[in-house]
């Protein structure tokens, strides 16, 4: 099925992050707070938590999909298991399915082991020669972490007072730093705020940038957006603008653990990125599972509607308790605690609930991923108890 371009429906350090969270929970380490740096011990400990302890936690920290992949996707992955011993085997039609979805040729599609790999490829390609990445703070930090690893500089602009991304400020930063800007990163909707950049502002950004500065537009949460002011930026790729759109199967298709994402870009940019692409990084189960997910629009819509309904119910309950929530267009939201979030995050850990890390400078805000209705009941009960004390 082809996605209409005006479509309305629509962790790297993951290992270290999880280690840090679990460390904080007493799984044998005093890890740093998630996102505040990861030491090699924390990284090595990731995934070594016993299954029963992990399963008992309400995991509202990584914006995962709590429902797991639809049955159709599980069946496709089971079917593909017979290729587990092969290298170059049928890919389930994943590249063609993505290309057809967006109305582009397969030469415009880059597959990655999660969209994180696409973000890394963009960084490696466009931050050579000490070029800078321009974006906002807070946003999805992966691009900044990769830039640090490359010894590239990042220009991190503050969000506006209403938690929206400041497009004129991004344009000014690019102009001021021209020709040293490697690319602009626009997370739309933004993580951790859940706020969209309206389509007219995306256009304002693209129209105002020097033509040689590529823009990486991260649409990881595209499928959850309801606001008609939002639009995917894929049509800009079709126009041949220097835009790379990144998408993931981790959220809507619940394949975070399988690692599948992709980038859509004009062939001129694909050619520049090609030397850094690892054609073997995506495993065969993910490919078949992803292709099945794209076919199962009914299954994905059901999950999306359930998540949106649960988010609205939870945020209404928080508002009724007197806590302001930033309007979200995603499967997570930020609530203003009116106090530093760190002790509250710790309080949730005591209740067996993992919530998002601190996102400086939004120190009083807590990011919460939308889990199942039962998990959100648990979250609300813990919230009331923690905030009372
Ligand atoms: C905005 C954003 N982009 C990309 C990713 C990475 O997703 P993936 O699992 O596809 O690497 C995430 C994960 O949380 C995200 O929030």
Q: How many other C-beta atoms can be found within 10 angstroms of the C-beta atom of residue 7? A: 17
**Which of 13, 141, 191, 196 is the best mutation target for the ligand 1 pocket, counting ligand atoms within 8 Å of the beta carbon and taking the most?**
191
Q: What local confidence, expressed as pLDDT, does residue 8 receive?
A: 33
Q: Tell whether 154 and 272 lie within a shared domain.
A: yes
Residue nearest to atom 13 of ligand 1 (CA): 11
Residue range 24-74, pLDDT digits in tens:
444 333 333 333 345 666 667 777 889 999 999 999 999 999 999 999 999
Distance 320 CA to ligand 1 centre (A): 31
Instruction: Examine residue 186 and state whether it is found in any structural domain, yes or no.
Output: yes
Q: Tell whether 82 and 187 lie within a shared domain.
A: yes
Q: Tell whether 186 and 207 lie within a shared domain.
A: yes
Residue 115 CA, closest ligand 1 atom number: 10
Q: Tell whether 131 and 180 lie within a shared domain.
A: yes
- Whether 147 has a pLDDT exceeding 90, the answer reads yes
Burial class of residue 333 in the structure, from the number of CB atoms within 10 Å of its CB (0-12 exposed, 13-18 middle, 19+ buried): buried
Measured CA to CA, the distance from residue 99 to residue 233 in angstroms comes to 15
The structural domain count of the chain equals 2
- Whether 9 has a pLDDT exceeding 60, the answer reads no
Q: Hey, CA dihedral for 250, 254, 260, 266, is it positive or negative?
A: negative
Instruction: Examine residue 3 and state whether it is found in any structural domain, yes or no.
Output: no
Q: Tell whether 316 and 306 lie within a shared domain.
A: yes
Provide the CA 341 distance to its chain's centre, in angstroms: 21
Considering 253, 279, 295, which residue would you say is the last residue of a domain?
295
Nearest to 187 by CA among 179, 177, 195: 195
Q: Tell whether 238 and 302 lie within a shared domain.
A: no
Q: How many other C-beta atoms can be found within 10 angstroms of the C-beta atom of residue 85? A: 8
Q: Which residues lie across from 217 on neighbouring strands? A: 186, 245
Instruction: Examine residue 5 and state whether it is found in any structural domain, yes or no.
Output: no
Are β-strands 325-326 and 332-336 bridged in parallel, bridged antiparallel, or unpaired?
Answer: antiparallel
Q: How confident is the model at residue 140 (pLDDT cuts 50, 70, 90)?
A: very high
Report the predicted TM-score, pTM, of the whole model to 2 decimal places: 0.92
Q: What local confidence, expressed as pLDDT, does residue 275 receive?
A: 96
Distance 117 CA to ligand 1 centre (A): 10
Q: Tell whether 53 and 78 lie within a shared domain.
A: no
Contacts of 111 (CB under 8 A, 6+ apart): 94, 95, 98, 260, 261, 262, 281, 282, 287
Q: Tell whether 133 and 217 lie within a shared domain.
A: yes
Residue range 160-188, pLDDT digits in tens:
999 999 999 999 999 999 999 999 999 99
Q: Tell whether 267 and 334 lie within a shared domain.
A: no
For 255, the token pair is: 């394949």
Q: Hey, CA dihedral for 212, 136, 22, 300, is it positive or negative?
A: negative
Considering 295, 328, 358, which residue would you say is the last residue of a domain?
295
Residue range 82-95, pLDDT digits in tens:
999 999 999 999 99
Measured CA to CA, the distance from residue 2 to residue 319 in angstroms comes to 38
Provide the CA 26 distance to its chain's centre, in angstroms: 27
Residue nearest to atom 2 of ligand 1 (CA): 220
Measured CA to CA, the distance from residue 330 to residue 193 in angstroms comes to 9
Distance 90 CA to ligand 1 centre (A): 26
Q: What local confidence, expressed as pLDDT, does residue 48 receive?
A: 81
| Mean pLDDT computed over every residue of the chain | 91
Q: Tell whether 279 and 307 lie within a shared domain.
A: no
Find the domain containing 160 and state its range: 71-295
Instruction: Examine residue 9 and state whether it is found in any structural domain, yes or no.
Output: no
Q: What local confidence, expressed as pLDDT, does residue 1 receive?
A: 43
Instruction: Examine residue 328 and state whether it is found in any structural domain, yes or no.
Output: yes
Residue range 11-25, pLDDT digits in tens:
444 444 454 555 444
Distance 11 CA to ligand 1 centre (A): 6
Q: Tell whether 79 and 189 lie within a shared domain.
A: yes
CATH number at residue 65: 3.90.1150.10
Nearest to 60 by CA among 334, 340, 360, 359: 334
Burial class of residue 276 in the structure, from the number of CB atoms within 10 Å of its CB (0-12 exposed, 13-18 middle, 19+ buried): middle
Measured CA to CA, the distance from residue 256 to residue 61 in angstroms comes to 13
String of DSSP letters for 159-191: PPTTS---HHHHHHHHHHHTTSEEEEEEESS-T
- Whether 344 has a pLDDT exceeding 90, the answer reads yes
For 212, the token pair is: 């040689």
Considering 279, 295, 311, which residue would you say is the last residue of a domain?
295
In the chain, what percentage of residues exceed pLDDT 90? 87
Q: What local confidence, expressed as pLDDT, does residue 3 receive?
A: 56
Instruction: Examine residue 8 and state whether it is found in any structural domain, yes or no.
Output: no
Instruction: Examine residue 4 and state whether it is found in any structural domain, yes or no.
Output: no
- Whether 139 has a pLDDT exceeding 80, the answer reads yes
Distance 220 CA to ligand 1 centre (A): 6
Distance 44 CA to ligand 1 centre (A): 21
Q: In terms of C-beta distances under 8 Å and separation of at least 24 residues, what long-range contacts does 168-176 make, across chains too?
A: 170/134, 170/135, 170/136, 170/205, 171/204, 171/205, 171/208, 171/209, 173/134, 174/134, 174/209, 174/210, 174/213, 175/210
CATH number at residue 221: 3.40.640.10
Ligand 1 pocket by C-beta < 6 Å: which residues?
11, 62-63, 114-116, 140, 187, 191, 218, 220, 248, 250, 256, 261
Q: What local confidence, expressed as pLDDT, does residue 39 receive?
A: 61
Residue range 191-220, pLDDT digits in tens:
999 999 999 999 999 999 999 999 999 999
Residue range 272-288, pLDDT digits in tens:
999 999 999 999 999 99
Instruction: Examine residue 364 and state whether it is found in any structural domain, yes or no.
Output: yes
Q: What local confidence, expressed as pLDDT, does residue 47 receive?
A: 76
Q: Tell whether 124 and 231 lie within a shared domain.
A: yes
Residue 260 CA, closest ligand 1 atom number: 10
Lowest mean pLDDT among 14-18, 108-112, 314-318, 358-362: 14-18
Compute φ and ψ for 326, nearest 5 degrees: -70, 125
Distance 146 CA to ligand 1 centre (A): 14
């Amino acid at each position: 099925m082809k996605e209409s371009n005006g479509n309305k429906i629509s962790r790297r350090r993951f290992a270290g992050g999880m280690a840090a969270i679990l460390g904080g929970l007493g799984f044998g380490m005093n890890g740093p707070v998630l996102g505040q740096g990861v030491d090699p011990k924390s990284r090595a400990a990731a995934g070594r938590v016993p299954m029963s302890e992990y399963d008992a936690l309400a995991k509202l920290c990584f914006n995962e999909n709590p429902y797991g992949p639809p049955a159709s996707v599980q069946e496709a992955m089971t079917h593909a298991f017979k290729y587990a011993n092969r290298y170059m085997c049928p890919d389930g039609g994943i590249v063609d399915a993505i290309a057809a979805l967006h109305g582009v040729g397969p030469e415009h599609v880059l597959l990655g082991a999660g969209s994180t790999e696409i973000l890394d490829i963009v960084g490696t390609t466009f931050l050579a020669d000490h070029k800078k990445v321009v974006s906002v703070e807070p946003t999805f930090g992966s691009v900044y972490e990769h830039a640090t690893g490359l010894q590239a500089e990042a220009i991190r602009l503050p969000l506006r007072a209403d938690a929206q991304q400041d497009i004129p400020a991004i344009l000014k930063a690019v102009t001021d730093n021209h020709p040293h800007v490697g690319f602009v990163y626009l997370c739309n909707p933004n993580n951790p705020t859940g706020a969209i950049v309206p389509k007219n502002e995306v256009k304002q950004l693209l129209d105002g940038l020097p033509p040689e500065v590529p823009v990486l537009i991260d649409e990881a949460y595209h499928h959850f957006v309801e606001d008609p002011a939002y639009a995917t930026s894929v049509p800009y790729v079709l126009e041949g603008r220097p835009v790379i759109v990144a998408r993931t199967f981790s959220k809507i298709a619940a394949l975070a653990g399988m690692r599948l994402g992709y980038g859509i870009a004009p062939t001129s940019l694909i050619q520049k990125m090609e030397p850094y692409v690892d054609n073997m990084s995506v495993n065969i189960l993910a490919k078949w599972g992803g292709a099945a997910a794209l076919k199962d629009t009914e299954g994905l819509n059901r999950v999306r509607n359930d998540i949106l309904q649960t988010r609205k119910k939870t945020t209404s309950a928080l508002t009724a308790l007197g806590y302001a929530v930033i309007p979200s267009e995603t499967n997570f939201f930020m609530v203003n605690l009116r106090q530093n979030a760190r002790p509250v995050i710790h309080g949730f850990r005591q209740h067996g609930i993992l919530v998002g890390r601190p996102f400086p400078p939004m120190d009083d805000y807590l990011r919460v991923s939308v889990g199942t209705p039962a998990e959100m009941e648990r979250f609300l009960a813990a919230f009331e108890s923690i905030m009372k004390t």
